[in-house]
Amino acid sequence: MLKAIILVGGPMKGTRFRPLSLELPKPLFPVAGFPIIYHHIEACSQVPDLREILVIGFYQPNEALNKFIMQSQQEFQIQIRYLQEYTALGTAGGIYHFRDQILTGNPEMFFVMNADVCGDFPLMEMLNFHRSKGEGAYGTILATEATRQQSLTYGCIVENKDTHEVLHYVEKPETFVSPTISCGIYLFSPHIFKTLEVTFKKNLEDNYNYCDLNLRVPGFDFQTPSKEVIRLEQDIFIPMAGTGQLFVFSTSRFWSQIKSAGAAVYANRHYLAIYQRTHPERLAKNCEGKPRIIGDVFIHPTAIVHPTAVLGPNVTIGRNVTVCEGVRVRETIVLEGATLQAHCCVLHSIVGWHSTVGMWTRVEGTPNDPNPNKPFAKLEIPCMFSTDGKLNPSITVIGSNVQVPPEVIILNSIVLPHKDLNGCYKNQIIL
Ligand code: GDD
Ligand code: GTP
């Protein structure tokens, strides 16, 4: 029997995703018509004998999360539970804290998946690879390739090319180490808990020394880390490298992080493309009396789209959205309850929940897609501001419940929720 863990983090995480993550936990943000972690769950449901998924994070359980878990359980006929950390315990602290729940039923192995990534996850291939490494293998990391520059913002791995053993691991190095980067998707044998226990005990001891020092040096307030925090990358992978217990499985399939709104639009495009193979029925088709569809488009069955609208490529129209006549949408996610009034044009943007874009208005953003001339380039997540303090051009994000008036242009801007705009805006954050 197998299990999977999805690490969803908590409310202090996902800051680069604001204002969209102000409304609902980022892992539930819909990409290609479904919450980000729905795609993880769907990938897990394809693995035979994977019986339980544990979603671990430090969000307070809320209605949206509970409802999502209940619906996914029913849809995939798989047990799914949310386990809440009392505080941020790091990427492995929660795994150790909830070890009894994870080990219940004696799973042979378990996957661990970062929630903020998307991809065509090769879980079965990872499983077969890990099994082929025998009893001594405690963990396998899914890896892909990045450019030298971009690799510095990921976990970097040096492997033995013949055995695929991890020889060296550095988390977000300052100088180039290796173009092989961790995808934040892992497979572990239960043996890993031995390593976690050793680290946990060592951290406890170090923590005790910290406190001791605090008592002995009056006036000094050493910051005391939560004693249960364990970082999978620094505390576990770094010491495991070179011991013969940790392996790397490389994929050349689609994979990307979802850290920013721009990344969600990019992920949307790729998940829609994957539907061509996995779920062609989810993609809208051209037919008489229906809107014109260009490329991959997802339209929620409850949305009302006027037959004169033109949608695509890479558009997702959410639940209960209204798209009026003559509207043009491309490379955009339109969230639940939004209205696109007649003849508006929305390009490279996200339109928030229950917002309205007025007639003849143009909402446009600038994508920062990977450079196609650079092999293995990943999506850039540029700084929000340039050195002279200007907002760098990116996807336009309209927060929830925003009214964009008719006949204006909103270009490369971020609009916070509940705004009633009254003119044109370019390269601005509208607070
Ligand atoms: N439950 C829980 N508790 N989850 C957490 C915590 C925590 O305290 N901290 C982070 N997470 C979750 C996040 O929600 C996210 O899904 C994942 O763990 C990793 O988050 P980050 O700590 O922000 O790391 P990162 O995304 O910058 O880098 C990680 O992922 C890269 C691939 O996307 C690292 O694992 C890198 O090595 C890796 O390349
Ligand atoms: P490329 O093919 O990438 O060169 O794009 P394009 O030159 O066709 O135009 P652009 O990317 O600016 O716009 C995408 C689509 O939206 C095009 O099919 C345009 O016809 C349409 N479009 C552009 N501006 C408007 C507008 O203001 N209103 C409406 N309704 N449609 C528009």
69 CA to middle of ligand 1, Å? 21
* Ligand with minimal distance to 348 CA: 2
* Residue 3: both structure tokens together: 């299990």
Query: C-alpha angle with apex 154: 167 to 178, nearest 5 degrees?
Result: 40
pLDDT the model gives residue 376? 81
Whats the size of the chain, residue-wise?
431
Residue 257 backbone phi and psi in degrees, to 5 = -80, 155
pLDDT the model gives residue 372? 76
* Residue 210: both structure tokens together: 């910290």
pLDDT the model gives residue 213? 52
* Nearest one of 366, 337, 361, 336 to 349, comparing CA atoms: 366
Higher pLDDT pick, 385 / 278: 278
Q: Taking residues 145-155, report their average pLDDT.
A: 96
Q: By three-state DSSP, how is residue 296 classified?
A: coil
pLDDT the model gives residue 16? 78
Q: Taking residues 20-46, report their average pLDDT.
A: 95
Task: For ligand 2, say whether the CB of 3 is within 6 Å of any of its atoms.
Answer: no
Q: Considering the chain, what is the average pLDDT of its residues?
A: 93
Q: Taking residues 101-116, report their average pLDDT.
A: 98
pLDDT the model gives residue 220? 47
229 CA to middle of ligand 2, Å? 50
**H/E element, 146:** none
Task: For ligand 2, say whether the CB of 123 is within 6 Å of any of its atoms.
Answer: no
pLDDT tier at 215, thresholds 50, 70, 90: low
Task: For ligand 1, say whether the CB of 56 is within 6 Å of any of its atoms.
Answer: yes
* Ligand with minimal distance to 86 CA: 1
pLDDT tier at 216, thresholds 50, 70, 90: low
Q: Is it the case that residue 196 has pLDDT exceeding 80? A: yes
Q: Taking residues 96-113, report their average pLDDT.
A: 98
Q: Is it the case that residue 210 has pLDDT exceeding 60? A: no
pLDDT tens-place string over residues 55-91:
999 999 999 999 999 999 999 999 999 999 999 999 9
Which of the listed residues 323, 328, 330, 348 should we mutate to test ligand 2's pocket, taking the one with most ligand atoms within 8 A of CB?
328
Q: Is it the case that residue 1 has pLDDT exceeding 60? A: yes
Rounded Cα gap, residues 223 and 227, in angstroms: 12
Which of the listed residues 345, 366, 411 should we mutate to test ligand 2's pocket, taking the one with most ligand atoms within 8 A of CB?
345
Contact 82, 64 (CB under 8 A): no
Higher pLDDT pick, 316 / 206: 316
Contact 152, 176 (CB under 8 A): yes
Contact 111, 218 (CB under 8 A): no
Ordered DSSP codes for 335-397? -TT-EE-TT-EEEEEEEPTT-EE-TT-EEE-------TTSTT-------SB-TTSPBPP--EE
209 CA to middle of ligand 1, Å? 27
* Ligand with minimal distance to 259 CA: 1
Task: For ligand 1, say whether the CB of 170 is within 6 Å of any of its atoms.
Answer: no
Q: Give nearest CA residue, ligand 2 atom 16.
A: 328
267 CA to middle of ligand 2, Å? 22
Q: Which amino acid is at 81?
A: R
Interface pTM, i.e. ipTM: 0.82
- The dihedral region occupied by 32, where left means phi > 0, alpha psi between -120 and 50, and beta the remainder, is left
pTM: 0.91
pLDDT tens-place string over residues 353-362:
999 999 999 9
* Residue 4: both structure tokens together: 């999977």
Q: Taking residues 3-27, report their average pLDDT.
A: 86
Sign of the dihedral through C-alpha 427, 329, 323, 42: negative
The CA-atom distances, in angstroms, between 60 and each of 35, 86, 99 are 18, 9, 20
